[in-house]
């Protein structure tokens, strides 16, 4: 193990990441895990299961060739920040508008990036020749697969990375560096998924059309957060339940997440009924979602979700 890798693991722990690891690029791109995953990815693009997320189609070439993301990449470091224990990670009550746990927290892109910057600052203080690039949903990298190759977790049938410690409630960050670290692919035991299909069975829209196969066009998360034209009702209005921003159904059904389940909760920022949402002004909405993953969403689009899912009460 290289000194750089040792510092990374030590500092990741100090920054509050629950798991971290790394893998040399050559070992990663030759691995069965990567080759299987990239074929899976291509198939999703060809079958149009990526919905209108064209950036995923454009990102296929760099996901196959890391030189296009950062020339000279020799290793991939990865760290996972758990959020299951945070107050916002408690499920929202079944009645009223429901939000996915992760959207109710802070902007994880910023938080994970800042933590990784702190770590890399310490590393480059001693190794100032090191070139690196931090990727937190900001570069075409298969983050979940990198994390799986680093032994941080396994990919469940719900397509999410998970481990026994944090369940599937983790934010991931990857750092590309131009030095080898002496680490091979390390795959975690995924037998917890053996004989289980609770996530697939629980998905209300059959977006999980088979184990580890997600059709984004049918996914409530995609429809409520990413679809610019608003939720597609051809997949059945009733199937949406009252999810207005994201969906946690497949995560809530997962036994690996069970120890992390808590009583329903809604933080003040999100404790609003349907009418309050409808009456909220644009300025109030902007101030409420500032610094959360919903910051990029327009008020108009959010209101459309509210009107479709709940109307007034
Ligand atoms: S987030 Fe919801 S709709 Fe999407 S796959 Fe999971 S359960 Fe299905
Ligand atoms: S619900 Fe079962 S099959 Fe799905 S991810 Fe969790 S353990 Fe795996």
3-state secondary structure 211-240: CCEECHHHCHHHHHHHCCCCCCHHHCHHHH
Residue 89 has pLDDT above 70, yes or no: no
User: What's the pTM?
Assistant: 0.91
Closest C-alpha to ligand 1, atom 6: 250
- Per-residue pLDDT of 47-87, as tens digits, reads 888 776 777 877 888 888 899 999 999 999 999 999 876 66
Query: Tokens 């690039």 map to which residue?
Result: 133
> What pLDDT is recorded for position 7?
97
Closest C-alpha to ligand 1, atom 1: 247
Centre of ligand 2 from the C-alpha of residue 127, in Å: 42
> What pLDDT is recorded for position 88?
65
Q: How many residues does the chain have?
A: 313
Centre of ligand 2 from the C-alpha of residue 36, in Å: 20
Neighbours of 203 (CB within 10 A): 22
Binned at pLDDT 50, 70 and 90, residue 265 comes out as: low
Q: Would the CB of 142 count as within 6 Å of ligand 1?
A: no
Q: Would the CB of 205 count as within 6 Å of ligand 1?
A: yes
Centre of ligand 1 from the C-alpha of residue 284, in Å: 29
Neighbours of 134 (CB within 10 A): 19
Q: Would the CB of 202 count as within 6 Å of ligand 2?
A: no
Neighbours of 128 (CB within 10 A): 7
The DSSP 8-state label assigned to residue 272 in this structure reads -
| Mean per-residue pLDDT over the chain, rounded | 91
Active-site entry in 48, 65, 107, 137: 137
As a whole-number percent, the residues of the chain with pLDDT over 90 amount to: 73
Q: Would the CB of 207 count as within 6 Å of ligand 1?
A: yes
Which alpha helices (H) appear in 15-71, and where do they start and end? Answer: 25-30, 32-46, 54-58, 60-64
Q: How does strand 154-155 pair with strand 161-162?
A: antiparallel
Cα 46 to Cα 52, 145, 175, 291: the distances in Å are 13, 20, 29, 35
Q: Which of 34, 16, 38 is nearest to 25 (CA)?
A: 34
> What pLDDT is recorded for position 87?
64
Closest C-alpha to ligand 2, atom 8: 193
Question: For a substitution probing ligand 2, which of 169, 170, 192 has the most ligand atoms within 8 Å of its CB?
Answer: 192
For CA atoms 154, 156, 158, 162, give the dihedral sign.
negative
Closest C-alpha to ligand 2, atom 5: 156
How many Å apart are CA 60 and CA 215, to the nearest integer?
A: 17
Centre of ligand 1 from the C-alpha of residue 140, in Å: 23
The DSSP 8-state label assigned to residue 268 in this structure reads G
Count Cβ atoms within 10 A of the Cβ of residue 303 and give its class: 0-12 exposed, 13-18 middle, 19 or more buried: middle
Q: Which two tokens stand for residue 117?
A: 């910057």
Q: Which two tokens stand for residue 222?
A: 């995609």
- Per-residue pLDDT of 173-200, as tens digits, reads 999 999 999 999 999 999 999 999 999 9
215 catalytic per annotation: no
> Domain limits of the chain?
3-193, 198-309
CATH (residue range 3-193): 3.40.109
Which alpha helices (H) appear in 166-298, and where do they start and end? Answer: 198-202, 220-221, 249-252, 274-279, 282-289
Q: What mean pLDDT do residues 231-237 have?
A: 92
């Amino acid at each position: 193990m290289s000194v750089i890798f040792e510092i990374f693991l030590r500092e990741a722990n100090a920054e509050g990441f629950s798991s971290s690891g790394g893998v040399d690029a050559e070992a990663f791109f030759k691995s069965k895990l990567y080759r299987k995953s990239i074929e899976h990815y291509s198939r999703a693009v060809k079958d149009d299961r990526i919905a209108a997320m064209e950036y995923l189609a454009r990102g296929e070439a760099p996901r196959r060739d890391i030189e296009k993301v950062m020339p000279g990449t020799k290793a991939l470091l990865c760290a996972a920040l758990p959020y299951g224990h945070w107050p916002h990670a408690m499920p929202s009550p079944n009645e009223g508008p429901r939000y996915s746990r992760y959207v109710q927290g802070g902007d994880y892109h910023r938080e994970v990036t800042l933590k990784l910057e702190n770590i890399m600052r310490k590393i480059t203080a001693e190794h100032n020749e090191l070139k690196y690039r931090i990727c937190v949903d900001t570069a075409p990298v298969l983050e979940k697969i990198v994390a799986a190759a680093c032994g941080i977790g396994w990919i469940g049938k719900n397509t999410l990375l998970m481990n026994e410690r944090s369940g599937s409630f983790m934010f991931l960050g990857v750092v590309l560096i131009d030095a080898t670290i002496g680490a091979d692919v390390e795959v975690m035991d995924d037998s917890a998924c053996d004989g289980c299909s609770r996530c697939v069975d629980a998905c209300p829209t059959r977006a999980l059309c088979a184990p580890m196969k997600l059709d984004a066009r049918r996914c409530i998360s995609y429809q409520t957060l990413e679809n610019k034209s608003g939720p597609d009702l051809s997949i059945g209005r009733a199937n949406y339940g009252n999810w207005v921003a994201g969906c946690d159904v497949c995560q809530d059904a997962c036994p690996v997440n069970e120890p992390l389940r808590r009583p329903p909760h809604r933080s003040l920022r999100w404790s609003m009924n349907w009418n309050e949402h409808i009456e909220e002004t644009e300025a109030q909405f902007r101030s409420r979602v500032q610094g959360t993953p919903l910051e990029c969403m327009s008020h108009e689009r959010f209101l459309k979700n509210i009107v479709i899912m709940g109307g007034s009460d």
